[in-house]
Amino acid sequence: MADTQADAERRRVLIAEDEALIRLDLAEMLVEEGYEVVGEAGDGETAVRLAEELTPDLVILDIKMPIMDGLAAAERIAGGRIAPVVILTAFSQRDLVERARAAGAMAYLVKPFQKSDLVPAIEIALSRYAEVAALESEVAGLTERLETRKSVERAKGELMTKYAMTEPQAFKWIQRTAMDHRMTMREVADRILAEGQEPSDATAE
């Protein structure tokens, strides 16, 4: 049982770092922590190619690399839904952090780092990536998307008629209410329609 669990947790990692010594140290840390290093690259272009070929569980990218930098590589890898990305850099300026986030990076690690810093960054990236995938799959079904859209459209009409809202205002209201009450837009729309048809039942909820 323990062996099976260990195998399940043995994540496959691709490393892209142009400094060979840092790449070697990083690979050693990963192996010591139970990760499997499936590929190494010294530039962003090679990293993207290897990510597409190897489909690892995680990619670690240094920002400053030749041919294609880590941010551009992150955009390609994260944008293609290949794997979660951890950005590795010696720079911690806020603008780089924002650019890394915009590129799709799930975590950010500043050099020099310890093994104790590396593992939490990897686990955060893996967890965030799984959450994003789950949210996307929740509305991936064509039937569900159509049903949600129909409910939202009808609810918008109800708000526009009752409160003289414009269509964009009605949509924003539904969107904001869903966020504020941690509901889906479909749930908010259904509740609006229920209140319009059966106010006593809606109040009872």
CATH for 142-195? 1.10.10.10
Report helix, strand or coil for 62: strand
Q: Residue 64 corresponds to which tokens in the numbers above?
A: 């400053």
Q: Is the pLDDT of residue 96 over 90?
A: no
- Over pLDDT 70: what percentage of the chain? 83
DSSP assignments along 68-131, one per residue: S-HHHHHHHHHHTTS--EEEEES---HHHHHHHHHTT-SEEEESS--HHHHHHHHHHHHHHHHH
Classified by CATH at the fold level, domain 12-113 comes out as Rossmann fold (3.40.50)
Q: Is the pLDDT of residue 196 over 80?
A: no
- The DSSP H or E segment spanning 64 is none
- Reported as a single tens digit per residue, the pLDDT across 111-146 is 888 888 888 889 888 877 876 665 555 565 656 767
Question: CA 36 to CA 26: how far, in whole Å?
Answer: 12
Q: Residue 19 corresponds to which tokens in the numbers above?
A: 């400094």
Question: Can you give the pLDDT at residue 203?
Answer: 31
Question: Can you give the pLDDT at residue 4?
Answer: 35
What are the domain boundaries of the chain? Answer: 12-113, 142-195
More confident residue, 187 or 133: 187
Q: Is the pLDDT of residue 90 over 90?
A: no
Mean pLDDT (the chain) is 81
